Structure 1
Amino acid sequence: MPLDAWLFFIVTTFFVSIAPGPNNMLAMFNGARYGMRASAIGGIGRLVAFTLMITITAMGLGVILAASEIAFSIIKWGGAAYLIYLGLKSWFAKVHSDDRATDETGIFMAYPGAAGLVRAEFLTAIGNPKAILFFTALFPQFLAPNMAYGEQFLVMGITFIALEGTVLLAYGLIGGQVKGLIRSAGHMRWLNRISGALLMAAGVMLALTDRSRSTT
């Protein structure tokens, strides 16, 4: 793709990626609970989900999904329910009353394991129909008609995943800094309640979303 179009694509997607959506909140709170390394591991799930969405868009299936009210509703309500579930799980999460860690990465709370972190990020990303609409609406705007579409989608896909990976590491780093401020089980309970409230709010907002407002 042309260099100027690629640079403009980078700027556009960067500002989209840094928005504090459900996945970024999840990365930050994972960093606050278990450290930046755990947050980065969980972020793999998000990157896999977005890679699948970009592939679907490149194959043209994104247009079909974007036009299907039933498909949109199924994904939307499933994603909203999962975010609310994560919020409730965070709100009522068990916190240890002492400083003993159940894992080298988990202080005050049991470490859910790499698979659990990856699964939560993946399901949070894949359950947001706004993402597939975003890829379907945005990527074609940067396609040069005189160049191979497949190669341009590949460049944009790799660029987007690289930017998203950078952003999730940044949110994990912010969360890791918060982790150093958590000195007691009480602090962890408050963190869990804030995390739970924000995730449940994100779920409610997703449930109220209609396709005409789904651009990011």
Structure 2
Amino acid sequence: MSFDLWLLFIPAAFAINILPGPNNMLAMTNGLRYGLFYAMKGGLGRLFAFVILILLTATGLGAILAASATAFYILKIVGAVYLVYLGYRLWRTKTEEIDTSAFTVSEKASTYKIVRQEFLVAISNPKAILVFTAFFPQFLVAESPMLSQFAIMGITFIVLEVIALFLYAISGKQLSFLTRTARGQKIMNRASGTLLIGAGGLLATSS
């Protein structure tokens, strides 16, 4: 994976990481209820689930793409279209205020409970495996070893996921205007959607 391609991968991947999905909303809720420290510990469950999904994706796709150049090309086109579709859906997503009046700050938290909850939410989300299947191949170079490319992308994605986890966890207390209000959610959705549409369009036309 070239350095230029990796630099393109980072903002496109972060657009996916920062989406206000189930895990990010859960991290924000945990940040509000239990504080940043517990929310970050809970996020370990999400990270473990994503590592499993990335490994499964790399194993399955690596075999297919190494065997067929046609499959490689088709998957890239389908994946690029899917990224554009995700971006469009984000632009059209309806937002709503999040009611946090029932949350109590500094409640006692069970580490096992919040780690398990984050893990189950991530591993049971069918969109996660679809994202990895559609997104990662966009940045693969057919002539280069698949395993090393998946490793670079996987590690980068997990690091960016930690950043997203931190931002949502701390938003439960300090940055609530970014995610708890409909206006903040709309801004985030449209910024992420624009990045995904741009990445999908660029990658669909690249060699």
Q: Deviations over 1:116-172 (max 9, x none)?
A: 010000000001011001101111111111211000000000000000001101111
The aligned amino acid for 1:177 is Q
Instruction: Map 1:156-171 to 2 at 5 A.
Output: 156-171=153-168
Q: How far apart are residue 5 of structure 1 and its match? A: 1.2
Q: What is residue 142 of structure 1 aligned with on the other side?
A: 139
Distance in 2, matches of 1:177 and 1:137, equals 34
2:12 matched residue in structure 1: 12
Are residues 38 and 172 of structure 1, via their aligned partners in 2, closer, same or farther at CA, if it must alter by over 3 Å? same
Task: Check the 8 A contact 1:50/1:125 in 2, yes or no.
Answer: yes
Structure 1: gaps (5+ residues): 65-90, 97-105, 180-190, 192-216
How far apart are 1:178 and its partner, in Å? Answer: 7.3
Q: Which residue of 2 aligns with 1:155?
A: 152
Whole-Å separation in 1 of the counterparts to 2:119 and 2:12:
23
Match of 1:119 among 116, 129, 133: 116
Paired residues, what number?
143
Unaligned runs of at least 5 residues, structure 2: 65-99, 181-207
1:128 maps to a residue whose letter is N
Which AA in structure 2 matches 1:43? G
Percent of matched pairs sharing the same residue: 51
State the SS of the aligned residue for 1:112.
Answer: coil
Q: 1:133 to 1:9 in 2, by over 3 A?
A: same
Residue matched to 2:34: 34
C-alpha distance in structure 1 between counterparts of 2:148 and 2:38, whole Å: 33
Q: 2:51, 2:154 within 8 Å by CA — same for their partners in 1?
A: yes
Aligned match for 2:169, one of 163, 172, 194: 172
- Take 1:135 and 1:63, find their aligned partners in 2: how far apart are those partners? 15
**1:16 offset after TM fit, Å?**
1.0
Residue 12 of structure 1: how far off its partner (Å) = 0.6
Distance of aligned partners of 1:41 and 1:12 in 2 relative to their CA distance in 1, 3 Å threshold: same
Q: How does 1:64-213 map to 2 (within 5 A)?
A: 107=106, 109=107, 111-177=108-174
Tell me, in whole angstroms, the C-alpha distance in 2 between the residues paired with 1:34 and 1:112: 6
Partner of 1:44: 44
Q: Check conservation: 1:62, 1:136, Cα contact below 8 A.
A: no
- 1:2 equivalent to 2:20? Answer no
TM-score after normalising by structure 1? 0.60
Deviation at 1:25, TM superposition (A): 0.5
SS in 2 for 1:138: helix
Aligned to 1:187: none
After TM superposition, which residue ranges in structure 1, 4 or more long, deviate above 6 angstroms? 61-64
Give the structure 1 partner of residue 25 of structure 2: 25
Contact 2:38 2:109 in 1 (8 A): no
Are 2:50 and 2:123, in contact at CA under 8 Å, matched by a contact in 1?
yes
User: What is the RMSD computed on CA atoms of the aligned residues?
Assistant: 2.8
8 Å CA contact 2:49–2:123 kept in 1: the answer is yes
Q: CA deviation at 1:28?
A: 0.5
